[in-house]
Structure 1
Amino acid sequence: MSIRKPVRLIVSYLFAAAIFYFLARSLLLNWQKIASAGLHFHYLLLSAGVGMFLISSLVGVWIMQYLFRRTGHPLGFWQLYKVISISQLAKYVPGTLWQFVLRFRYLQGAVSDHSFFVVTVLENVVTFLAGFAVAAAIGFQDLPGAARWLAFGVAAGSLMVVLMPSIFYFFFNFAYRLVKRGENPPYVRLTRAVLFNSFLASVVNWVIKGIGCYLAVVSLVTLPHDLLWRMVAVYATSVVAGYVLLVFPGGLGIREGVMIIFLQKFVGFEVATFIAVVARAWAIFSEVLSAGLSYIIRSQVKD
């Protein structure tokens, strides 16, 4: 077992490195085609894109704080902002669970172990359901006949899961067993209103972040305006896919591949590759900036 983990870590990084090698190679070989799409630099658009990411981070903190409060552990907003912002950077270590390990360490003493795992699972289930709903509800327009109905079913099903707690807690119990192997899930029951409020806030969060991604991209290359909502759907799809495949650090390679697959029919393979790389750079820069701001704000503001 001790040998498998280092091997898995090396393989995951090699895979991510290989993906980015081919992405970089594709950009260099096709730079003339990308440039012909209308390269430029708009500082205000880029700033707006980063700003949307930071707003999204605050919405994510509110969701976590809301769930902790509803499970009996009120936490300070800026305290939680610092914990979440810093732990986000740990996802670039293979296995997304590292960011949750770091959160657990920071929050020890502030919340019970039981409450931490319950809220972590609740927040992730709600986030995934909201991501599926956003991707399906917006993306169905580009799908062929039968697939449209499937996408509509996914969007409606995600909402139904939240509005029917008995179904929601089936997914909660499944996710809890994945996180806490060998342990039976605790009996947790939040009201339908709490679940719906968390879901709705998460949907808004996905939309904000998707719009931010679009603004960051159009600050560098010209894109059609009708691609905005498709970018929101594709961004949600790519991030969910990256998180599902935990072995790849921060979804490196997976998110980019998903974005290229879904966007190339609208802008071509070359520009889609450029968009995927810019989206990753925007996300990493914004995450590092958010972590830095959390240190400054937390040192100046006490909850």
Structure 2
Amino acid sequence: MVHLIRYGLVLVVVAFAVYYLATQWDDIVHALSVMSWQSVVLSQILVLVGLAFGTLSWVTILNGLGPKVPLLRGSQVLLVGQLGKYVPGSVWSYVMQMELGRQYGILRARVLVTALYAAGIGVVASLMLGALALPVVVEGHEWLLWLFLLLPIGLVCLHPRIMTALASFVLKLFRRPPLEHRVSYGTVLGGLGWSLLSYVAYGLHLWLLLNSLVDPDLGSLILLTGAIALGFTIGLLAFFLPSGIGVREAILIAAMGTLITLPEATAISLASRAMFTVGDLLAAGIAIGFVLLLRRRLRREQYDYLREEVRYEHGTQTADAEPDSVR
């Protein structure tokens, strides 16, 4: 019954994502029709590359908080779980990640701490790159300056000592033992580095779409990278909207409006949103496909991981640390 509920939840969030594409289909097709197919294909590939970098950031943080989780398992937890962002109220993404993590033996509390810190690192990375686009985007959106008050706070929270203390506090709320080690600088820098690379890939994604209409230079690439990074943070804060829809596009249109006409900027932002939705669905499907193909190897790795998790929990086996497939 528990398995059926989980699979049902996955089907619901996939349905929401597909529904978004269906409702916007005519506008999306019109937007893509003015762009060269080569740019569209390469741009879609860069979305997948950015998602891969973001996944590496998430798994780096996850493995920095406890026993190492196989990359494929961690990827499946994130990529399938994050489809929950298409359901109004972004909390569903975190719920799905925790439930999928529990199914594979990863403590819910650890998945939640990972998700929160991945979001925080993403905000820090986006604000660092968003500063590149701020002089252009801020015109008419002066309130965006307030966002940068989060940057020093975020940088302080990324210090390994503070990160360890906050992670242990959340684990305590879940009645779990605190971290038995301090989060390393490698975990923090690795998570931040992969996150920065993901935004650079997304900036290139936009730059290629723009290349179908004008001949953009290096300066426009820097601008678009900063704009899309900033748009992701604003979309994250607008948690009441499915995947931050609308607010991210407003930032992109403001940035691209300095390079192309407003209708063209609107078309590109709409096409970009659709390509991210397709990318999310493809990435989740690819992750599930690899897990099914390599399920025997992953099952062996899962037993090894469980033994390490039990040791990490000071020899106390709990139902939350044991996957459903083993029981």
TM-score normalised per structure 1: 0.72
Q: CA deviation at 1:186?
A: 8.4
**2:290 maps to 1:290:** no
Q: CA deviation at 1:161?
A: 2.8
| Residue 197 (structure 2) aligns with | 204
**2:210 maps to 1:227:** no
Change (3 A) 1:170 1:259: farther
| Residue 96 (structure 2) aligns with | 102
Assess if the C-alpha contact under 8 Å between 2:161 and 2:183 holds in 1.
no
Q: CA deviation at 1:112?
A: 1.5
TM-score normalised per structure 2: 0.68
Report the RMSD for the aligned CA atoms in angstroms: 3.9
| Residue 81 (structure 1) aligns with | 75
Q: Which runs of 5+ in 1 are unaligned?
A: 1-12
Helix, strand or coil at the partner of 1:267: coil
| Residue 112 (structure 1) aligns with | 107
**2:240 maps to 1:247:** yes
Helix, strand or coil at the partner of 1:190: coil
Assess if the C-alpha contact under 8 Å between 1:125 and 1:172 holds in 2.
no
Assess if the C-alpha contact under 8 Å between 2:79 and 2:284 holds in 1.
yes
Change (3 A) 1:53 1:298: same
Assess if the C-alpha contact under 8 Å between 1:162 and 1:195 holds in 2.
no
Change (3 A) 1:141 1:171: farther
Out of 36, 42, 56, the residue aligned to residue 41 of structure 1 is: 36
Instruction: Give distance in 2, aligned partners of 1:228 and 1:171.
Output: 36
Change (3 A) 1:171 1:247: farther
Assess if the C-alpha contact under 8 Å between 2:204 and 2:221 holds in 1.
yes
Q: What code does the residue aligned with 1:221 have?
A: L
Change (3 A) 1:154 1:196: farther
276-285 or 190-199: which moved more? 190-199
| Residue 9 (structure 1) aligns with | none
1:198-237 deviation per Cα after TM superposition (whole angstroms, max 9, x unaligned): 112211121112212332x236533523322211111111
Q: CA deviation at 1:72?
A: 1.5
- In the alignment of these two chains, the number of paired residues is 267
Assess if the C-alpha contact under 8 Å between 2:46 and 2:205 holds in 1.
yes
Out of 265, 271, 274, the residue aligned to residue 272 of structure 1 is: 265
Q: Which runs of 5+ in 2 are unaligned?
A: 1-15, 299-327
Helix, strand or coil at the partner of 2:126: helix
Helix, strand or coil at the partner of 1:197: helix
Instruction: Give distance in 2, aligned partners of 1:173 and 1:223.
Output: 50
| Residue 10 (structure 1) aligns with | none
Out of 195, 210, 219, the residue aligned to residue 218 of structure 1 is: 210
Instruction: Give distance in 2, aligned partners of 1:172 and 1:222.
Output: 47
Instruction: Give distance in 1, aligned partners of 2:94 and 2:185.
Output: 26
Assess if the C-alpha contact under 8 Å between 2:77 and 2:100 holds in 1.
yes
Instruction: Give distance in 2, aligned partners of 1:77 and 1:184.
Output: 27
| Residue 5 (structure 1) aligns with | none
Q: What code does the residue aligned with 1:274 have?
A: A
